[in-house]
Structure 1
Amino acid sequence: MTSASSNDIEFRSVTKNYGSVTAVTDIDLIVPKGAFMAMLGPSGCGKTTCLRMIGGFEQPSEGTILIDGREMNGIPAYNRPVNMVFQHYALFPHFNVEQNVAYGLRQMRPKIEKAEIWRRVAEALAMVRLDGFAKRRIHEMSGGQQQRVALARAIVNRPSVLLLDEPLAALDKKLRTAMQIELQTLQRELGITFVLVTHDQEEALSMADFVCVMSAGRIRQLGSPKEVYDHPADLFVADFVGKTNRIEAVAEGDGMTVRLANGNALAVGRDKRIEPGKVTVAVRPEAMRLQRSPMAVGPSLEGTVTHRIFLGSSAEYAVSVRGIGEFLVTADRHDAGAEELAAPGDRVFLGFEPTAAHIFNL
């Protein structure tokens, strides 16, 4: 069947059971051609199960999976236009680097000429910054280098979809950052669809075009990194993606006013009218303001600094507010001046713009 689908991957009401355990429940998902999507969530949320079903290593119990408009149910992994970079490398220890990378090309039918195989191997190694390592034995490579060999082996076949299962987990912070940029560049150059599974929020937000946040086998939100971070769909997403301060409050009868525990009123925009009753107000640490005197506008929460972490251009404060709880505040120290750094034990006031608050009914 020839397809003119504009989507590379589709899940239609997909469920996956392992005996009496349901790992994925009734998922609908569309990944456009050439997109870089990150599946983000805690351990056991179902993201790796979804990845394995795309790759053909697992079959759905219910529903349909399509790649480029073609149904993939029952089609084995080796007959799918997909390659996968596994979390634990899965390299052949008795092969050297170039033999590992060339393995998939050598299995292709009709056969590829040797000169073309080694040309593409050299190209793939250059893409992952392993020029000069072709003859190196796998046991002579560091964990990060082995991970890059696995990546080269996956891209050398030029698949339609590349699946990445925690591919940067073994790398140190500096190399991880460099490889994030390399992967983004590689994805743009190749023009193929990347699906990344990770529990690292920063990795997902910094690399992907779309972020799919999962919990308990279900999709909680799918959107751009900015949408997911700035406009979380629910309290789970607000808590899991980035850092969030939670304030218990009560929404009053008109659905447009929220009353905090200290009596402060928070106005809710007409487009954000909520149901009366108990609510949670979520505010990002960088949206909090910290100063020595009460806030002139908006809620003003008096508290005491309990901890301060100096981060160079910014500082993070833990502030205890009686009757409400602990708050995390990220302050740009260059806005206030170095002399304005608060110290543990200092009395301060916290505030935030009402538009920076996300309000969720309990």
Structure 2
Amino acid sequence: MTAAPVPDIEFRGVTKRYGAVTAVSGVDLSIPPAAFVALLGPSGCGKTTCLRMIGGFEQPSEGKVLIRGQDMAGTPPYRRPVNMVFQQYALFPHLDVEDNVSYGLRQQRPRLSAREISQRAGDALAMVQLAGYGRRKIHELSGGQQQRVALARALVNKPAVLLLDEPLAALDKKLRTNMQIELQNLQRELGITFVLVTHDQEEALSMSDFVCVMNRGGIVQIGTPSDIYHEPADLFVADFVGKTNLLSGNVAGRSGDLFEVKLADGSVISARGRKELASGEAVSISLRPEALRLSTPGQGGITGTVRNRIFLGSVAEYAIEVPAIGTLLATADQQFGQVDLFEPGEPVAIGFAPGAPLAFAGARDNGPKQRETKNVEIVS
């Protein structure tokens, strides 16, 4: 039997405190080699603290951080097989592009030859599509080009793990999308582990192989982007990741594997449950906008009135006011040349894709409780 590969990164019962504040609480995490992992969560959830503990900028108050099986306790950042791309890039304005990229190589002992340093810097710049930019000044570059310089500087030392601290936050939407694709391709070509910290759900879902959703210092769920989006572990994940409609209701019965849920307007819908639900129990229904089907009224079910229509090119979003329920968001694909079917003020009937509604116990509040998860392992 082939032995399981040693994880590139492993957290064993890691807790980090700052005085009376616990930033990270009892995290267990195992990341396999060559994975692209996103740490996703709201501000203050502990994701950046976890990244900094991997990089050696912070030490855990309890537990161990291991890189390729080696305990990193007391190991400074420059002695770890990792490099980091910061949100603000931290480039040296007085150095040109090549000198920025080669700075880390010049600090190595024993010293590398000037020829080898220049060659490796040039290779790193070519890797990020900046060949020929070596003698330009930093202020002469666009934001996207500066981001690539920071990336080349992090990769030139050939790290085992690359840490990305919201590196695309300062870029405009189109450039950010292009860089997301380039980072994906680069990670696959290099075959090293990338760990991305972000609060941008779209960025996490589009770039990573696995998403680690964090809240209140702990891990709530780990899975593929599809699992996280379509099979959220709890109400927090359903509400935080992507857009969703949250409807309140009570369990009215059961039909096979589905629960019948009575909504505030008296209508009843069938929903999957994340766990067993009792008759009469209060629940929250998560319903993704793309799962809603709009039609002309007259077939019964939920009806409402189109309040707004937002044209987004390939899709249109509708905000629909439903009496006793509130406003629901629906997304409809737009075929080329198609005339929009519904205008603001028009009545519509709302249906659902089979199995789309997902029921969670309890009503939504302003602070969903963290679901404790232990011994989390990503399986590649």
Tell me whether the two structures share a fold, i.e. TM-score over 0.5.
yes
Match of 2:346 in 1: 346
Secondary structure class of the residue paired with 2:83: strand
Kept after mapping to 2: 8 A contact 1:85/1:165: yes
Match of 2:66 in 1: 66
Measured at CA, do residues 29 and 339 of structure 1 come closer, stay the same or move farther in structure 2, by a change above 3 Å? same
Q: Deviations over 1:81-110 (max 9, x none)?
A: 000001111112221110010011111122
Listed as ranges, the gaps of 5+ residues in structure 2 are 363-380
In the aligned structure 2, how far is the partner of 1:340 from the partner of 1:132? 49
Match of 1:280 in 2: 284
Question: Where do 1:94-173 residues align within 5 Å?
Answer: 94-173=94-173
Kept after mapping to 1: 8 A contact 2:273/2:359: no
Question: Where do 1:347-362 residues align within 5 Å?
Answer: 347-362=347-362
In the aligned structure 2, how far is the partner of 1:267 from the partner of 1:141? 55
Aligned AA (1:171): L
Q: Once structures 1 and 2 are overlaid, which stretch shifts more, 129-138 or 27-36? A: 129-138
In the aligned structure 2, how far is the partner of 1:11 from the partner of 1:271? 27
Aligned-pair distance for 1:172? Answer: 2.0
In the aligned structure 2, how far is the partner of 1:209 from the partner of 1:270? 26
Give the TM-score of the pair, scaled to structure 2.
0.89
Aligned-pair distance for 1:128? Answer: 1.6
Is 2:268 the counterpart of 1:265? yes
Match of 2:376 in 1: none
Aligned-pair distance for 1:268? Answer: 4.4
In the aligned structure 2, how far is the partner of 1:78 from the partner of 1:334? 54
Root mean square deviation of aligned Cα: 2.0
Listed as ranges, the gaps of 5+ residues in structure 1 are none
Aligned-pair distance for 1:354? Answer: 4.5
In the aligned structure 2, how far is the partner of 1:261 from the partner of 1:230? 25
Aligned AA (2:96): N
Measured at CA, do residues 10 and 124 of structure 1 come closer, stay the same or move farther in structure 2, by a change above 3 Å? same
Identity of aligned residues (%): 62
Aligned AA (1:185): N
Measured at CA, do residues 272 and 85 of structure 1 come closer, stay the same or move farther in structure 2, by a change above 3 Å? same
In the aligned structure 2, how far is the partner of 1:4 from the partner of 1:120? 33
Measured at CA, do residues 138 and 236 of structure 1 come closer, stay the same or move farther in structure 2, by a change above 3 Å? same
Match of 2:330 in 1: 329
Structure with more of its chain in helix, by fraction: 1
Is 2:321 the counterpart of 1:320? yes
Give the TM-score of the pair, scaled to structure 1.
0.93
Secondary structure class of the residue paired with 2:206: helix
In the aligned structure 2, how far is the partner of 1:151 from the partner of 1:295? 56
In the aligned structure 2, how far is the partner of 1:325 from the partner of 1:302? 11
Aligned-pair distance for 1:303? Answer: 0.5
Paired positions, count:
356
Aligned-pair distance for 1:256? Answer: 3.1
In the aligned structure 2, how far is the partner of 1:257 from the partner of 1:89? 52
Q: Which gives a bigger RCO, structure 1 or 2 (Cα 8 Å, sep 6+)?
A: 2
Q: Deviations over 1:189-220 (max 9, x none)?
A: 11110000011111111110000111111111
In the aligned structure 1, how far is the partner of 2:341 from the partner of 2:291? 17
Q: Once structures 1 and 2 are overlaid, which stretch shifts more, 48-57 or 73-82? A: 73-82
Aligned AA (1:123): D
Is 2:292 the counterpart of 1:291? no
Question: Where do 1:202-213 residues align within 5 Å?
Answer: 202-213=202-213
Aligned AA (2:334): R
